[in-house]
Amino acid sequence: MMISPRVRLFRLTSALTLMLACALAALPVHALSDIKDITPPSADTPSDTVEPLPSEEQDVIEDSIPVIPDPDPLIKRDEPQEAESIEPTTPPAEVIYDLEKAPEPVRRMRQLIIDAATTGDISKLKPLMNPGPDQTAVPLQDPEQDPIEALKAISGDSEGVEILAILLDIFSTGFVQLDKGTAEEAYVWPYFAGKSLGLLTPKEKVELLRIVTAGDVAEMQEYGNYNFFRVGITPDGRWKFLTVGD
């Protein structure tokens, strides 16, 4: 005998209802008075209905609650600092091309050095170095070293010819008067020794590259100063120095 779907659904519903009723009958029955009121007290609840904790326990609870510090800002900005007083920088020395603006003793010593350099014999420079206490300062490896031998030691060749060529290149540029009015006053070639490389004009950069390579210039620009060979002659015509460096 076929059972219609409607009858089958009715029987299944009846069985489920009977099982649910049996399960509820097995549960313990509690009186309404046994159910605790878990409703939180409202603002209108009298304060005497809430028992306060003893002061000691309250202090312990408050001390045990961790305090979360305020978060630091993600971007920390430096505190504003007072503006530092900026002293005016020393103006660059005047670049001079006119040799007539140098004293006659200076012009004479310059020409004597050029004449000696053009011979190709570095020993020709020695009589011009004023042997004695005021001897021309050169890069020495030893205090007792002969100045000519010292120049040969730093030359790219063993005879010091490179140093002679450098002297001729240096004297082909303009010059500056440094430490004017002091015991250290000198007329210095090339003028780059008295001027920041960052202030050079395009024409002056060409003159610098006649003395040093582009790689040398790039290295100098890291420090901002010319650090190649330079010659200094005192106002009274003494060859003061032939040095290299700042």
* DSSP string for 108-150: HHHHHHHHHHHTT-GGGGGGGG--STTPPB---SSTTS-HHHH
**Which tokens hold the place of 30?**
């509690």
At residue 93, does pLDDT exceed 90?
no
- pLDDT, tens only, 116-154: 999 999 999 999 998 888 899 999 888 889 999 999 999
More confident residue, 171 or 4: 171
At 44, which helix (H) or strand (E)? none
Question: Which residue's structure tokens are 């202090």?
Answer: 59
Residue 95: phi and psi, rounded to 5, are -85, 125
Residue of 128, 176, 182 lying closest to 151 (CA atoms): 128
pLDDT at 25: 58
Spatial distance between the Cα atoms of 95 and 194, rounded to a whole number of angstroms = 8
Spatial distance between the Cα atoms of 35 and 97, rounded to a whole number of angstroms = 111
Query: What is the arithmetic mean of pLDDT over 79-96?
Result: 58
Q: How far is CA 173 from CA 167, 209, 237, in A?
A: 11, 11, 19
219, 246 Cβ separation under 8 angstroms? no
- Helix and strand counts by DSSP (H, E) for the chain: 7, 4
Spatial distance between the Cα atoms of 173 and 190, rounded to a whole number of angstroms = 6
At residue 59, does pLDDT exceed 60?
no
pTM of the model: 0.62
At residue 83, does pLDDT exceed 80?
no
At 243, which helix (H) or strand (E)? strand 239-244
- pLDDT, tens only, 182-239: 999 999 999 999 988 888 899 999 999 999 999 999 989 888 789 999 999 999 999 9
205, 219 Cβ separation under 8 angstroms? no
pLDDT at 146: 93
Query: What is the arithmetic mean of pLDDT over 77-91?
Result: 47
114, 125 Cβ separation under 8 angstroms? no
- pLDDT, tens only, 6-55: 555 556 666 566 666 655 555 555 544 554 555 555 555 454 555 555 55
Spatial distance between the Cα atoms of 152 and 166, rounded to a whole number of angstroms = 13
